[in-house]
Structure 1
Amino acid sequence: MPHTPISSPPRPPTAQLAPPAPSAGPGPPGQQALTGPQSEALERFARLKVGAAFLEQGMGKSRVAVELANSRAHRLDAVLWVAPYSVLATVEEEVTTWRCRVPVRFLGYQTLSQSDLTYLDVLAWARRQRLMIVADESTFIKNAHSKRHRRLTEIRTSADYALVLTGTPLTRDLWDLKRQLDWLSPKILATDDRAFRYRYFTMHQRIQRDGSERVWFETHTPNVAHLKSLMEPYIYEARLDVGVPENAREYEHDVSAPTRTVYERERDDFLDAWAAWGQDHALFRMLGNLKRIAATDPDKCRSVAEQVAGRHTIVFCQYRKEQQQIAHHLDGHLLVNGSTPAAEREQIYARFRTEGLPLLLTYGTGSFGLNLQHVNSCHFASMPFNYELVEQARSRIRRMGQTRPLTYTTHVSDLGIDVLVAQNLRRKDWLARLVRHEIDPTGTL
């Protein structure tokens, strides 16, 4: 059903490959049995050359991919496993744990897009292999115009089998699904972008104050069932039942007078630009600036620090300034962000297992790959626009094997931007659409 892969006779694995684990039947002694969802996913993909495992974080997606590769070991020379760079070490550890019997080459999405030499090397190597390719956290390739998507698509043409893994397949709209399925095989949906837009979206038009016309598209719900019917044979989706109660809390914090003044000035500048020419770049600039102003308010950060002080919990922040301000008000804490060296991060994570202190993380460094189920609460000091980051962050503690009730606490300011972000995350939509097409900015911001 997918395009015919390019294959060749077996060749010895290159030095860049992780060697296959020794064959030991279904796995090493004492290896835990497959869960129900894992077994069902393997059964779904057994006769397919492509598949999408939409399993929530903590459900063992990596093991599904390993077992699938093992079942095809006699037809494969290698596995190419592509994942966000920040989780590659975790993925390698899991592949070793589950004893993949096929040599595995690991590649970061960031390396794929940034290094021409690596891309050309992997592409040439892939053309010499009977290959299975795994796109882990596949929403990283949802932008069809990105270099990583185009390059991974080119490599995909040489693979006999392809699998996508993610717990959040849809983070904005139906285009996320189309990009992932088209990468697996364009024959699944068998439709170009223009036809897809007019089949599964409804076009809206509005005349602006200056007389110009604005056009946008929103999901056409009646046709979604048809789209689902096309995808269903190639998808296995399951939600994680951790078996413990889960609680969500929200605290609203007052902001300081200087922050409110800066916020209102930024908002008014945006509204003037909106009324004058309605350009998108004014909208995007305003959204980012208002979010940053609200998140980094000193009064709000001090209030968040009071909520987490002395607790063994995780605190997710969007901005380093926000993270530093919260840390300033804590007598004891652990902190990781993009400037923390890799070796030091591992030491901090090890300390966090035994020290009853809050761990302050930025979404970029903490929302993917970490298994922190030894704690049972997390705080969102501020919320990002991206639904996927929130779900990934929750999944650091929401994993199989968790035995205690879970609590997720959201901290918001009393400024309008946080109302819009909350609506955005509930809808899994793009915040700009809420402002531009559905909400009167003067009534919410």
Structure 2
Amino acid sequence: MISDGAIARVAAREADRFRAANRHAFAHQAAASGWFQSVPFHWMRDWPSPVPIVAASAKNATLISIDGQTYDDFCLGDTASLFGHSPPALAAALTQQASEGLSYMLPTPRGAALSAKLAAMFGLPQWQVTTTASEANRAVIRWSRGISGRAKVLIFNGAYHGAVDDVFVDLKNGQPVMRGSLIGQLHDLRDTTTVIEFNDEAALADALRRGDIACVLVEPVMTNVGMVRDAPGFLQTLRTLCDETGTLLVFDETHTISSGYGGHGVAHGPTPDLMVVGKSIGGGVPCAVYGFSAEVAERMATLNAARPPGHSGIGTTLSANALAITAMDAMLGEVITPAAYDHMLRGAARLVAGLEQEIAAADLDWHVAQVGARVEFLTCPTSPRNGGEAKAAMQPELEAAIHLFLANRGILLAPFHNMMLVSPVTGDDQIDRLVGGFADCSKALKE
């Protein structure tokens, strides 16, 4: 057990160490007052350091700050650079495209090749491109409601799915509530969003058999409240119940693409009706895709044909711009490969083994969770079964102290919880430094 006093002592000491080593970051913060909260976008303030680290450059799995600090990067842009920063094939393709035009509102030769690559990798025949995964999820919800004639979406407590209004509903003491962090929401989302706990087959069956759910939007493994694994058989039960009730099953694989080549659905099953992939699919270039079955495509076409012309509410001018198409084509053609996953999964196994060994050596009642190349140590003894249990087990002050301790020693984790990503270009030496830093942090917290 780590005491509150120990957490406070380590946090204060590490904050002082950060201030001494990152003077340029503080100067940058002061000079950036024209930005709201001194950052171009507000979540850049979510890091537990006194001010955000300011990036100067990044390559492979290494990031360098304006203070000259070198970091083994296990955050990787919170998945956007899951396959490494600026892979050579991506950089070359973007350089060429930049000289040929960035956005035409027209298809390009690379587009036809890209659609075939998406179908081959993810196992769904039809695709559309958006600018972000949030936009893709919003589009999928609209299509699902349109082709089903049903109003409601079912999500799981603690899910994220981007900045989509429909998913900002949580469970509190078993009752649905609007998420308190949602700004400016006027309408009660609970009228059209049903929320239940992950892995609750009885609640799932009860909700779907009412016949008013257009789609279930789910990560095959929950990743935004720590990591919550699917219970044995749960996803297959979900697939079966969706088929039984005529409900569309949507996998958001923006994070679970870490599971293996083709994402969690391909690596472990089942196959969804629609799926969304964002962030890493473009190597950090803003873009996302959503794919769907031939049956869903036919229903979409029928819906389109029956409606008058006009804006559908789906898409933006920059959707499927030439730069995004080029980025994804280069990534799927030369970077996101089975060989890349072999390296990632081997490295993740090395990281898990090292962390588990150090947790046991320090006699901590913690455990390690893994979703392919995505690893997290959770400061609780057993794996949560759902989002409610995961949120209750979180210790934000402890997690922040660990993060800052490791950052001060050149190891960068994701800022939101203790999540780590292993890329195809992450070295064993970087993994071993992370394990060693974790061991040192554990000792410091138990002094």
* TM-score (structure 1 length as normaliser): 0.31
Rg larger for? 1
* TM-score (structure 2 length as normaliser): 0.31
